[in-house]
């Protein structure tokens, strides 16, 4: 783990950076349910400052749906890669993976809802491009939920069964934060900049590796194996470092 100050000095100059930020566990602390997170009061201002400092080369890269992120960070008008890359909101508008609105997705959501109804502490999170069954408040259900969600996905082609943090997600198998990040880094205003990816989860690792391999860097938030050369303890430390970085042009 490095301190806030050490992180700031390890990052490239913010004016030449492309900044890619995961959301849950990176910018905000994890909570018992997806809706229970506390968004720090200064997060909108921090994102505005980062957007200004990078001339707009700032993106949220999250497993959340774009709609959820728009609710949690209402003033943010920058790029959002949502649903692990299955959704994109940028200057061109909104793009969604074809799983959105499909009969397949409707059947998966119906099945996940039925599973959620089997225990009061389970909850089903519906996304435009997938569905998640959360068991953080009933960890003893893990084996059953993993088994049942895998069985729910089995009849369908093109799905990935993702074992997430205290949750199982069904999502398209041809998306990923690395693919979405690579596409973004080829476009203005991101292209030609030094990419900096901050994330906490296994789904962030391929994108963090990509940024390192293409001459940028990455910062892991919290414990666990990571390809990121930099690491801070928690979202609070990361936010403080990002604030200091914006002053360090
Ligand atoms: O890519 P991220 O922005 O890190 O999003 C990953 C998933 O985050 C959310 O679930 C996780 O955070 C919840 C709130 O702290 C927690 O209750 C849950 O156990 C975690 O798995 C979100 O609900 C998912 O949709 C995201 O894919």
State yes or no: is 22 an active-site residue.
yes
Q: Does 38 contact ligand 1 (Cβ within 6 A)?
A: no
d(CA 183, CA 178): 9
DSSP code, position 19: E
Look at ligand 1, atom 15, and give the residue with the nearest C-alpha.
30
Among protein residues, the one whose CA lies closest to atom 20 of ligand 1: 165
Give the CA dihedral 248, 230, 204, 72, nearest 10 degrees: -40
Indicate if the alpha-carbon torsion angle 217, 69, 100, 121 is positive or negative.
positive
Exposure string (b/e) for 75-87, b if CB count within 10 Å is 16 or more? ebebbbbbbbbbb
pLDDT at residue 249 greater than cutoff 80: no
Q: Measured between alpha carbons, how far is 15 from 54 in angstroms, rounded to an integer?
A: 5
Q: Are 231 and 2 in contact (CB under 8 A)?
A: yes
Tell me what the mean pLDDT of segment 71-90 comes to: 97
Provide the CATH number for the domain formed by 4-97+175-245 in this structure: 3.40.50.1000
Å from CA of 249 to ligand 1 middle? 32
25 Cβ inside 6 Å of ligand 1: yes
Distance, CA 64 to ligand 1 centroid (Å)?
A: 7
How far is the centre of ligand 1, averaged over its atoms, from the C-alpha of 86 (Å)? 15
Strands 130-134 and 159-164: unpaired
Domain boundaries for CATH 3.30.70.1020 within the chain: 103-172
Confidence of residue 156 (pLDDT cuts 50, 70, 90): very high
Give the pLDDT of residue 118. Answer: 97
Give residue 248's pLDDT.
76
pLDDT at 128 over 80: yes
pLDDT in tens, 29-54: 999 999 999 999 999 999 999 999 99
Look up tokens 């003033």; give the residue. 75
Provide CB contacts within 8 A for 160, sequence distance 6+: 170, 171, 172, 173
Q: Is there an atom of ligand 1 within 6 Å of 237 CB? A: no
Q: What is the CA radius of gyration of the chain?
A: 18
In the chain, residues under CATH classification 3.40.50.1000 are 4-97+175-245
Question: CATH fold of 103-172, please?
Answer: Alpha-Beta Plaits (3.30.70)
CB 78 within 8 A of CB 47: yes
User: How far does residue 63's CA lie from ligand 1's centre (Å)?
Assistant: 7
Answer whether 0.95 is exceeded by the pTM.
yes
| Tokens read off for 83 | 């649903």
């Amino acid at each position: 783990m490095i301190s806030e100050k050490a992180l700031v000095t390890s990052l490239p100059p913010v004016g030449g950076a492309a900044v890619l930020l995961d959301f849950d566990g990176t910018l905000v602390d994890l909570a018992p349910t997806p809706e229970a997170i506390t968004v720090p009061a200064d997060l909108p201002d921090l994102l505005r400052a980062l957007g200004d400092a990078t001339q707009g080369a700032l993106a949220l890269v999250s497993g959340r749906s774009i709609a959820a992120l728009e609710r949690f960070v209402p003033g943010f008008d920058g790029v959002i890669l949502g649903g692990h890359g299955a959704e994109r909101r940028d200057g061109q508008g909104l793009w969604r993976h074809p799983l959105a609105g499909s009969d397949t997705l409707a059947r998966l959501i119906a099945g996940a809802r039925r599973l959620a109804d089997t225990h009061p502490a389970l909850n089903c999170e519906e996304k435009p491009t997938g569905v998640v069954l959360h068991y953080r408040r009933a960890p003893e259900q893990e084996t059953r939920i993993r088994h049942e969600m895998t069985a729910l996905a089995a009849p369908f082609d093109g799905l990935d069964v993702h074992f997430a943090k205290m949750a199982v997600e069904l999502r398209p198998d041809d998306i990923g934060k690395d693919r979405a990040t690579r596409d973004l880094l080829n476009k203005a205003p991101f292209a030609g900049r030094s990419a900096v990816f901050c994330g906490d989860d296994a789904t962030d690792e391929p994108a963090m590796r990509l940024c390192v391999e293409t001459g940028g860097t990455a910062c892991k938030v919290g414990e666990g194996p990571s390809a990121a050369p930099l690491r801070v303890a928690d979202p609070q430390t990361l936010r403080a470092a990002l604030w200091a970085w914006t002053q360090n042009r």
